[in-house]
Amino acid sequence: MIEPVLEFAFEVRVDIAPHIRIGRSADEELTFTPITGGTVAGPLLNGVVLPGGGDWAVERSGTAQLEARYLLQADDGAVIDILNRGYYRASAEVMARVEAGEAVPEEEYYFRTAPVFQTDAPAHRWLAEHQFLGLARDEDGQVCVRVFAVR
């Protein structure tokens, strides 16, 4: 059996506005976090995060199930759709530190995603033809996702 090999592709640094509590029930909470911009930088893709889109999160029993959808624009002008699903889990103590703006090492909490990309731009078609894994963290008021292609 082969083992997956991960190749670092780029990092997305997403600017966000304060989250909006939508609510659901006593044991789960639904929130929406607007995406206001950001950057994309790495060996395989560079560009910006376009304003618009956002991240929906449903938190149950201390674990948030995430679904973010927004647009990237590569340096060559191509627009790329990203749907990024994942999970966020942290202890109450770590969550309080993150919410207070502290740079908490990513090893202290679980924040993993599986981004899927769509584009018809020939130079970036590879994004729509590979599986990706995202290792995410909160840093300096941004959500940062290191994106790895699974080879």
pLDDT digits over 70-97, tens only? Answer: 999 999 999 999 999 999 999 989 989 9
- DSSP conformation class of 26: T
CB 45 within 8 A of CB 74: yes
- DSSP conformation class of 90: -
CATH number of 96's domain: 2.40.160.20
131: domain range? 6-150
Q: Is residue 76 part of a domain?
A: yes
Predicted pLDDT at 102: 86
Look at the chain and count its residues: 151
Q: How far is CA 32 from CA 47, 118, 125, in A?
A: 24, 22, 30
Q: Is residue 43 part of a domain?
A: yes
Q: Is residue 145 part of a domain?
A: yes
Q: Is residue 89 part of a domain?
A: yes
- List Cβ neighbours of 14 (8 Å cut-off, separation of 6 or more): 35, 37, 38, 49, 68, 70, 142, 143, 144, 145
What gap in Å lies between CA 23 and CA 106, rounded to an integer?
27
How would residue 101 be classed by pLDDT, with cut points 50, 70 and 90? confident
| 3-state secondary structure (DSSP) of residue 142 | strand
Task: Tell me how many domains the chain contains.
Answer: 1
Evaluate if residue 108 carries a pLDDT over 90.
yes
pLDDT tens column, 7-49: 999 999 999 999 999 987 778 899 999 999 999 999 999 999 9
Q: Characterise 122 by phi-psi region: left (phi > 0), alpha (psi -120 to 50), beta (else).
A: alpha
Q: Is residue 1 part of a domain?
A: no
pTM of the predicted model as reported, rounded to 2 decimal places: 0.92
Sign, CA torsion 116/36/34/41 = positive
CB 142 within 8 A of CB 14: yes
Calculate mean pLDDT across residues 59-80: 96
Predicted pLDDT at 23: 81
Q: Is residue 18 part of a domain?
A: yes
